[in-house]
Every structure is written in structure tokens, then in C-alpha cells.
Amino acid sequence: MGWFSKSQDEKKKIRKSPELWLRCKACKKHIFKEDWHNQHSVCPQCNYHGRLTAYERIGITLDVGTFKEINEEIHPGDPLDFVDGKGKYSDRVEETRTKSGLNESIVTGTGSIEGKPVVVGVMDFRFLGGSLGSGTGEKILRAANYAYDHKLPLIIFSASGGARMHEGLLSLMQMAKTCAAVKRLATKNLPYISVLTDPTTGGVSASFAMVGDVHLAEPGALIGFAGRRVIEQTIKQKLPDDFQTSEYLLEHGFVDRIVQRGEIKHTLSLLLSFYNR
Amino acid sequence: MAKKKETHFSNMTPWEIVQIARHKERPVLVDYLDKIFDDFIELHGDRCFSDDRALIGGFARLDKQNVMVIGHNKGKNVQDNIAQNFGQAKPDGYRKALRLMKLAEKFNVPIIAFIDTQGAFPGLDAEERGQAEAIARNLAEMSQVTVPIICIVSGEGGSGGALGIGVGDVIIMLSNSIYSVISPEGCAAILWRDAKFSPEAAEALKLTAPSLVRLGIVDEIIDEPVGGAHTDPEATAEAVKNSLLKNLQGLQKLPPAKLVKKRFEKFANIGHFNK
């Protein structure tokens, strides 16, 4: 091999080095990793908003050093002794806990946003697809109850495929439980803001995520009740391209605002500034 | 022979129970309206968009007691089912149900909700008009309604579409009804990657009445005649009526604030997790 072709090869290698570059899932362009991270996983080319972990989200939303986690010890049980085609649910839970370092699909706690005290819940899609299980529902209930007892606003960031099948009807009931919990805040006129991120579907879209006093959504997030394929099979029609996106929901009146990730903290602070306690 | 039949029906698999819950001759809402209630006056429309025939309701009398009845409206034949969308409601249906529940609250009459649906309708128009929002709002609002709510799963309790009218003080199931987070077919397709594993999924999901009593969700089971409700609709209706009367009597003693508090606590306590 001549020196010329060899150096071309090396150049190629450097250009695609995964330590430095990644590919945007939406526009498929190469992005410098540092840019991606500096913009909190938003593509500088096409504005695609990638998924964040719960702690990344907390890091960019709450004032530095103010977050105090509550109920972090809550983790899934296996009330149904559920076994499916891939094995035991309890094994999947352990695997997910180890891999993600999380105990449940939501992280809850207290902190402040530009100096304003809040209770927050942030879902993490890496934990069993952000699914709503009994532990998730319990953590949301307790976060809402904390807000109720301490007269604080509640903010929940959702990211979920829906109710967790492996816990059967107990999961479905968490929809009612969480809705009751956030609804009770209204009896004390406490604000509840729902921030919908990619994806918010199924049982989570049809529960606490959709009953906020204000609904914010990140650009391009998938938000909807029934799955696209199920709908297409049912009605035998092709669905519009922007179907079930944040933009589609804004147009149809189900979200108040679409907010760039970099602006969410300030938008929340601005909204809370209108709250006369 | 009778004994043999009884043994068979008491040892049914969850998948067999699913078939009975979906039996085409199984009594539906209009049968119960006809056999149990008097003076039913249907009230139409959600005041936003349409009158969803898949979910209906109105005032009625149960042994001279005033009640509001709402429920999924599965048809008795193909023609009705097409008109009533097989009891699969759209947001308009859930919004109508909420309107009627608020009306019941104003008139101070208890609410009886009959649950029998495969699920909320998965369609373009349903999504466009906010299926998720309509169901979510019902869950939130029902938790604060100040009159008693009795929910009875008479056939299929299919996921969010069932729960959308399912937040009650008492949750009752007929012995061969089912109530599940997802259909066995849907679950098998996702977790087994093949719908032919539906019987396994039905087993795993614990969707039968006795399992759901054990899990602390369902409060009471109404025994159906041997062979299923469709073999004796009269006897089934009688049993449903007796249960409703008994439960109404208990619930009506509670002052509204206590009723709401107890309902909140009932749902707050549902769940199984470790810490």
C-alpha cells in the first residue's frame, strides 16, 4: 500500500472517530460531539432534540446545587410474577437498574428554578422505556403530596412509552392515581406544569402529562395516545407526517407552547413569576 | 352432567374467560338498562363536537332511587356495532361522560358506570381531538366528584378506554369479565413478538376478577350463572341489581368530603413496589 492511500485511510478514520463525532438521528449529518453536548443534545444543524437522562435534565433545569432527591429508594416489585417471551420481568428490572443506575423510570425531588422553590419529577426513557409502573406512580403521588403539604408548585417532565405491561392492571391504575394526585393540588391553587418531551405516549399521555395547568413541549417530540401503526391498521389510511408531534398538538390546542430546550428553564421561571402565592 | 359442566366452568383458563367476556351474546349496556333500571332518559352530546354513540348515558331510576348511568355501548348485532363503533369511544364520548357526571354532581345523584370496551378508539380523528387529554381529564375530575361512583366491569375492561370512566368508590367485576392494561393480543405481539401467544399473555397479565381482587384493585365479584352471563341474562341482571343496591346504600351514608377523601386514598393505595 502506497503512502498516499494510507494517509487517506487515516484521515477517514479521524473524521469518523466516534470519540469526537456523532451522527444526528434526524438529519444524519455528522456533528462535533462537543457541540452536541454543549447544546444539551440538540442538533446544531437541524434542531433535533435528542433524549436526555433524568439527571441531565435536572442539571439544566434546576439551579446548581439545589436538587434534593426524594424517595430514590423506591424500585419495582414483581407483583404478577411476570414472565414473557424474553424471560422474567424481575430479571429485566435488575438489568435495567444496573445499566441505568436508576431505581425507577422517574426521578423526583425538590430544588429551585431561578430562585423559585419547586417540586420536580423527571422521567427517564432508559428505564424500561420510561414506562409507568407502580413505583413510578407512587413517586409521582409522593412528589405531588410533598408539593401539597409544603404549598409548592409541581413540575413534571414526561418521557414514556406508556403504562408498564409487566405490572398489568396495577400499572393502568397508576394513571388514575397520578391524576388524582396532581388534581388535588388545584384544591389549594398550587400550580402544576407538565413538560412533554420525546416521547410521551399511551397511558402517560392519557394521564398526568395531559392535565397540567400549562403544557410545554419540546420541538418535534412524539406525543399521542394510540400508536401510529395501530391507527393506520384500524382506519386503513396514511397519517400526516407531522401526526402526533409537538407542532401538531400545538396546532390542535393541546399544548400551550413549544419551547427550545435551552429556553425551558427560563420559561418555567417566567411562568412561575406570574403565580401570586 | 351438570356437575361436570360446573367443574369445567370453574376451572377455566384466563384465555377462556377472555372469550366469554367477549361473547357476542353477552349482555350489553342496553340489556342492563332494560332489565335493571326504570325511566332511563338518555342525554346526548359533549357540547363540543358530537354525540358519540360508543359511550352513552342519562338519568335513570334503580328501585325508585335516582341515578346517573353511563357506559360503553357495545351493540347487539353488526349493524348496531358499526353505528356504535363497537363501544370504542372517541374523545367526544369521554367528554360527554364527564358532562353527565358533572350533571349528576349538580343533581346530587350517584353515578353508575358500566365498563365494556376493547379500548378507546385508535383513529386519526380521535387523536386530533385529544383522546389522551379527554381520558386524562376524566381521571382527574372523577377523583374529585362529590357523589358516589360505582364502576362495574360487565365485559371487557380494555385499558385507558375502560379506565376513562373507571375511577370509582367501588370497582365491581362480573365473574367472567376481564380488565387489563393491554389486550392479550397486543401484549403477545409486543412481548412475545407473535399474537399466537395471546393465551400465555392472558395468563401473565392477571386480567381475571379473582386475580384483580388479590392485587387490591377490584372490590367485589358478581357471580355469573354457570356457563356465563349470556346463558341467563335475567339472573345476571338480578345479581347486578342487588350488588348495586347494596353498594349504593353503603356509599350514600358518607358525607361528600369523606367520600372524596376515601376515593383518593383508595387509588393512592393501589400499587406494588419495593423500597
ipTM of the complex: 0.97
Q: For residues A76 and A13, state if they share a domain.
A: no
**Three-state DSSP state, A16:** helix
pLDDT for B192-207, tens place per residue? 999 999 999 999 999 9
Instruction: Give the chain A residue whose CA is nearest to the CA of B180.
Output: A169
- Taking CB atoms and an 8 Å limit, are A79 and B215 in contact across chains? yes
**Chain A residues within 8 A of B144 when measuring between CB atoms:** 180, 183-184, 187
Q: Does any CB of chain A come closer than 8 Å to the CB of residue B244?
A: no
**Chain B residues within 8 A of A85 when measuring between CB atoms:** 191-194, 197
Interface test with B, best of A81, A104, A179, A208 (most B CBs within 10 A): A179
pLDDT at residue B169 tops 80: yes
pLDDT given at position A17: 82
Residue with cell 393540588: A185
User: Angle between the A168-185 and A134-150 helix axes, to the nearest 10 degrees?
Assistant: 10
End-to-end CA distance of chain B: 51
| Residues in A 37-66 with any Cβ partner in B closer than 8 A | none
Residue with cell 343496591: B245
Q: How confident is the model at residue B2 (pLDDT cuts 50, 70, 90)?
A: low
pLDDT given at position B197: 96
The CATH number of the domain holding residue A114 is: 3.90.226.10
Q: How far apart are CA A148 and CA A152, in angstroms?
A: 7
Q: Does any CB of chain A come closer than 8 Å to the CB of residue B182?
A: yes
- Taking CB atoms and an 8 Å limit, are A169 and B123 in contact across chains? no
Q: How far is A250 from chain B (nearest CA, A)?
A: 11
Q: How far apart are CA A104 and CA A93, in angstroms?
A: 9
Give me A20's grid cell.
Answer: 469526537
Q: How confident is the model at residue B10 (pLDDT cuts 50, 70, 90)?
A: confident
Q: How confident is the model at residue B103 (pLDDT cuts 50, 70, 90)?
A: very high
**Which of A79, A172, A208 has the CB atom closest to B272's CB atom?**
A79
- Taking CB atoms and an 8 Å limit, are B140 and A187 in contact across chains? no
Q: Does any CB of chain B come closer than 8 Å to the CB of residue A129?
A: no
User: Chain-centre distance of CA A20, in angstroms?
Assistant: 26
**Which of A71, A175, A205 has the CB atom closest to B163's CB atom?**
A175
**Which of B129, B197, B207 has the CB atom closest to A168's CB atom?**
B207
End-to-end CA distance of chain A: 75
Q: Does any CB of chain B come closer than 8 Å to the CB of residue A235?
A: yes
Closest to B112 (Cα-Cα) out of B148, B159, B155, B162: B148
- Taking CB atoms and an 8 Å limit, are A165 and B187 in contact across chains? yes
Give, in order, the Cα–Cα distances in Å from A165 to each of A170, B140, B187, B253: 9, 22, 7, 37
**How many domains does chain A contain in total?**
2
- Taking CB atoms and an 8 Å limit, are B135 and A225 in contact across chains? yes
**Which of B130, B140, B272 has the CB atom closest to A77's CB atom?**
B272
Expressed as residue numbers, the domain containing A7 is 1-48
Q: For residues A151 and A106, state if they share a domain.
A: yes
- Taking CB atoms and an 8 Å limit, are A207 and B136 in contact across chains? yes
Stated as kind and residue range, the H or E segment containing A233 is: helix A228-235
Instruction: Give the chain A residue whose CA is nearest to the CA of B165.
Output: A176
- Taking CB atoms and an 8 Å limit, are A77 and B144 in contact across chains? no
Q: For residues A139 and A212, state if they share a domain.
A: yes
User: Chain-centre distance of CA B61, in angstroms?
Assistant: 19
Give me A48's grid cell.
Answer: 433535533
Q: For residues A4 and A91, state if they share a domain.
A: no
CB-facing half-sphere around the CA of B259: CA atoms within 13 A: 22
**Three-state DSSP state, A155:** strand
Q: For residues A35 and A99, state if they share a domain.
A: no
Q: For residues A25 and A118, state if they share a domain.
A: no
Among A15, A31, A48, the domain boundary falls at A48
pLDDT for B107-140, tens place per residue? 999 999 999 999 999 999 999 999 999 999 999 9
Stated as kind and residue range, the H or E segment containing A9 is: helix A3-16
Q: How far is A204 from chain B (nearest CA, A)?
A: 9
Walk along chain A (277 residues) and give the pLDDT tens digit of each residue: 455 555 555 555 556 688 899 999 999 999 999 999 999 999 999 999 999 999 999 999 999 999 999 999 999 999 999 999 889 999 999 999 999 999 999 999 999 999 999 999 999 999 999 999 999 999 999 999 999 999 999 999 999 999 999 999 999 999 999 999 999 999 999 999 999 999 999 999 999 999 999 999 999 999 999 999 899 989 998 899 999 999 999 999 999 999 999 999 999 999 999 999 7
The string of DSSP codes covering A36-94 is HHHTTSB-TTT--B----HHHHHHHHSPTT--EE-STT-EE--TT--EETTEEHHHHHH
Q: For residues A106 and A228, state if they share a domain.
A: yes
pLDDT given at position A163: 98
**Chain A residues within 8 A of B197 when measuring between CB atoms:** 85
Q: Does any CB of chain A come closer than 8 Å to the CB of residue B260?
A: no
Region at A115 (left for phi over 0; alpha for psi -120 to 50; beta for the rest): left
Among A48, A63, A81, the domain boundary falls at A48
- What CA dihedral angle connects B178, B182, B187 and B191, to 10 degrees? -130
Q: For residues A23 and A157, state if they share a domain.
A: no
Q: How many CB pairs under 8 A join A and B?
A: 204
Q: For residues A72 and A190, state if they share a domain.
A: yes
pLDDT at residue B176 tops 80: yes
Q: Does any CB of chain B come closer than 8 Å to the CB of residue A176?
A: yes
Q: Which domains does chain B have, with CATH numbers?
A: 27-264 (3.90.226.10)
Closest to B53 (Cα-Cα) out of B95, B26, B93, B91: B93
- Taking CB atoms and an 8 Å limit, are A169 and B181 in contact across chains? yes
Closest to B152 (Cα-Cα) out of B260, B239, B258, B43: B239
Q: How far is B142 from chain A (nearest CA, A)?
A: 8
Q: For residues A36 and A85, state if they share a domain.
A: no
- Taking CB atoms and an 8 Å limit, are A174 and B270 in contact across chains? yes
Q: How far is A4 from chain B (nearest CA, A)?
A: 51
Average pLDDT over residues B72-94: 96
**Chain B residues within 8 A of A225 when measuring between CB atoms:** 120, 122, 126-127, 131-132, 135, 160
pLDDT given at position B19: 97
Q: Do β-strands B38-42 and B55-62 pair in parallel, antiparallel, or remain unpaired? A: antiparallel
Q: For residues A69 and A20, state if they share a domain.
A: no
Q: For residues A14 and A141, state if they share a domain.
A: no
Share of chain B above pLDDT 70, in %: 97
pLDDT for B63-75, tens place per residue? 999 999 999 999 9
pLDDT given at position B144: 98
